[in-house]
Chains A and B, each alone.
Chain A
């Protein structure tokens, strides 16, 4: 039994690790010290949902894995937001160093990075379902029907979450611009 489990675990890991790993890194922005714990947590959720037959085979296993991984990652972001350390200060310091050393390209890269961090920050402050729906649709490119299945909601509910999520993110990003100008 244990051997069987190990075999299945190996197959599952090899099959889904790229999806899980990528999703977590993209949501969080980098591979962090606790990355391995997050991967393990995502895999445990995948196993649990598979054993409870919540994965209904109406969507791809990759989509299912990326949904669960993104939820794990967004939960981490959310908890960090509560602790007010969503933007890694060390990373900011690195960006500043690179900017001084590398000129315009590096500066642009740092700006993009800051923008993505702001998106992550705002997503982490939104409701989990809105953020996940928005990320799955606008980020990973899943269609609404698939997202409805992935999040266990009706198509109308998924659409409503997407629309409200976009509006909320836009509003939050809009409120950021004056603050940025003040900083300059």
Chain B
């Protein structure tokens, strides 16, 4: 304790000891030497501080700008998230409006459909003269006509599918993502779409039914009888016509008409058709061919020829747009056709004639990729990289 007091005392003595006073002359001389240096130090410090203040101001402005950007970003994000419920609201399938008697069948129970939410596998039935508007998860709007039976089965993820058993539905499909699609399935047809406006009608035709598709906007692919038809705006398609056309083609390409590869008569020892259904094609070996096999080995080639010829005729008539549509349809239906290479060549030629140089270039590149060393490679290369005009020579 005493020691501690000693240390404190020593410290006190250290701090309060008498300090020898300097002479006035020495003090004055020191003042003369130090004050200018001190003035310089003040000047230096004030400059430094001014610079620091300037940096701070710039930093503040930058921080404020960043804060504004952040706030705007957060606001936008909040607005987006705020609008999300509306989207999810829209995303929920529901009956938006009805006119007349519209019944929704849910889990086997029927109930009036007025403004009610829908779920997967629900069925909507409209009475004669009744109508309904339904919105699907993807935002697709369905206008359901009178006397219609529609079920919402298979609405999963990015794929909406409705089954139209009878009646009329008109669909307005928003632009869907690459993986998304909307399909209307009828008893004999599947209509797939990636963003357009079209209608599908299913009705009785004789003993069976037929499906009519009409496209208002965009492009719709129709899958029917193992083939695909691409329908553009204002185009219509009927399963009845497609069946009739196929029958015509089959008749034209049948062995009886062409005499190629098959025989029909019993006198030659070949199989004879029975059942009064008309002649059934048989193979050269006399074995009756399965209908599916027939379709793939004989009638498809004739169809391909006819389809390609139609496109060529349109091109010769100067109808390049129509020719292009027919070529598109051809390539969609017969991507592996022996004429596919010709169709691709004709497609980039047609696009070039129409002045769509970018599309023509893309198509030509695709042609070169799919048919390296193809017969029109040089022409395709010229479309991709047009030769320099003026004959200056060299690159």
A: residues with CB less than 8 A from B are 1-2, 5-6, 8-10, 12-14, 17, 21-22, 25-27, 31, 36, 39-40, 43-44, 47-48, 50-52, 112, 115-116, 119-120, 134-135, 138-141, 166, 169-170, 173-174
Cβ < 8 Å to A, chain B residues 1-53: 3-4, 6-8, 10-17, 19-20, 22, 30-31, 33-43, 45-46, 48-49, 52
Residues of chain B contacted by A115 (CB below 8 angstroms): 10
Is A173 touching B38 in the complex (CB atoms < 8 A)? no
Is B7 in contact with A26, judged by CB distance below 8 angstroms?
no
Which residues from chain B contact A120 at a C-beta distance below 8 Å?
14
In contact, A134 and B11 (Cβ under 8 angstroms) = yes
- Out of B4, B7, B33, B42, which one reaches A47, CB within 8 Å? B42
With A31-B22, A51-B49: A9-B14 Cβ-Cβ less than 8 Å? no
| Inter-subunit contact A138/B11 (CB<8 Å) | yes
Contact call B15/A26, Cβ cutoff below 8 A: yes
**Judging by beta carbons under 8 Å apart, are A139 and B15 in contact?**
yes
Q: Is A13 a contact of B14 with CB atoms below 8 Å?
A: no
A9 to B46, CA, bound (A): 12
**Beyond A25-B19, A39-B34, A140-B15, is A173–B3 a contact (Cβ under 8 Å)?**
yes
**SS class, residues of chain B in contact with chain A:** helix
Scoring B residues 37 to 76 as 1 if CB is less than 8 Å from chain A, else 0, what string do you get?
1111111011011001000000000000000000000000
Select from chain A the residue with minimum beta-carbon distance to B49: A51
Q: When the two chains form their complex, are residues A139 and B12 in contact, meaning their CB atoms are under 8 A apart?
A: yes
Contact, CB under 8 Å: A22 / B11: no
Cα(A14)–Cα(B32), bound, Å: 12
Specify the chain A residue showing the minimal Cβ separation from B10: A119
Question: In the complex, what residues of A have CB within 8 A of residue B52's CB?
Answer: 52
* CB pair B42 A9 closer than 8 Å: yes
- 18 A-B pairs within 8 Å (CB atoms) are namely A1-B43, A5-B43, A6-B36, A9-B42, A12-B42, A13-B31, A14-B31, A26-B16, A36-B33, A40-B38, A44-B38, A47-B42, A52-B45, A119-B14, A135-B11, A135-B15, A139-B14, A170-B3
* CB–CB B7/A9 < 8 A: no
Per the bound structure, the CA–CA distance linking A48 and B6 in Å amounts to 37
In the complex, besides A51-B42, A116-B13, 15 extra interface pairs with C-beta distance below 8 angstroms are A5-B42, A10-B35, A12-B38, A13-B34, A26-B14, A31-B22, A36-B30, A44-B38, A52-B49, A52-B52, A116-B10, A119-B14, A139-B12, A139-B14, A139-B15
Please name the residue on chain A nearest to B43 by beta carbon: A5
> In the assembled complex, how far is the CB of residue B375 from the closest CB belonging to chain A, in whole angstroms?
83
**Which residues of B line the A interface, CB within 8 A?**
3-4, 6-8, 10-17, 19-20, 22, 30-31, 33-43, 45-46, 48-49, 52
* Least distance between A7 CB and chain B CB atoms (Å): 8
Given the interface pairs A10-B35, A13-B34, A26-B19, the reply to whether A112 lies near B13 with Cβ below 8 Å is yes
Q: Which residues of A contact B41 (CB under 8 A)?
A: 9, 43-44, 47-48
Q: Which residues of B contact A2 (CB under 8 A)?
A: 39, 43
Distance between Cα atoms of A26 and B10 in the complex (Å) = 12
Task: Give the docked Cα–Cα distance between A1 and B42 (Å).
Answer: 10
Structural contact, A13 and B11, CB atoms closer than 8 A: no
Complex CA gap A173/B17 in Å reads 20
CB distance from B31 to the nearest CB of A (A): 6
Query: Residue of B at shortest CB range from A8?
Result: B42
Q: Which 3 A-B pairs have the closest CB atoms?
A: A139-B15, A9-B39, A9-B38
**Residue of B15, B30, B34, B52 with most chain A CB atoms under a 10 A cut-off:** B15
Q: How far in angstroms is the closest Cβ of chain B from A8?
A: 6
With most chain B CB atoms within 10 A of its CB, the pick from A22, A39, A40, A139 is A139
Contact yes or no, A169 B43, CB < 8 A:
no
Chain B residue contacts of A141, Cβ below 8 A: 12, 15
Which residues does chain B contribute within 8 Å of A6, judged by CB atoms? Answer: 35-36, 39
Q: When chains A and B are docked, how far (Å) is the Cα of A51 from the Cα of B39? A: 13
Whether A116 contacts B7 in the complex (CB less than 8 A), given A6-B35, A31-B20, A48-B45, comes out as no
Closest to A45 in B: B41
Residues from chain B with Cβ under 8 Å of A10 in the complex: 31, 35
A40 / chain B contacts, CB cutoff of 8 Å: 34, 37-38
Report B-chain residues with C-beta under 8 Å of the C-beta of A17.
31
Among A9, A31, A120, A169: residue with most chain B CB under 10 A: A9
Q: Is B48 in contact with A119, judged by CB distance below 8 angstroms? A: no
Question: For A52, what are the chain B residues with a Cβ–Cβ distance below 8 Å?
Answer: 45, 49, 52
Shortest Cβ distance from B265 into chain A, in angstroms?
114
CB atoms of A51 and B12 under 8 A apart: no
Which among A9, A36, A51 is the interface contact of B36 at CB below 8 angstroms? A9
| Contact A166 B4, beta carbon cutoff 8 Å | yes
**A31 / chain B contacts, CB cutoff of 8 Å:** 20, 22
By beta carbon, the residue of chain A nearest B34 is A40
**Complex alpha-carbon distance, A22 and B20, angstroms:** 9
Asked if A116 contacts B45 (CB within 8 A), the reply is no
Question: Nearest chain A CB to B26's CB is how many angstroms away?
Answer: 10
CB contact between A116 and one of B17, B20, B38 (< 8 Å): that residue:
B17
C-alpha gap A59/B30 in the complex (Å): 28
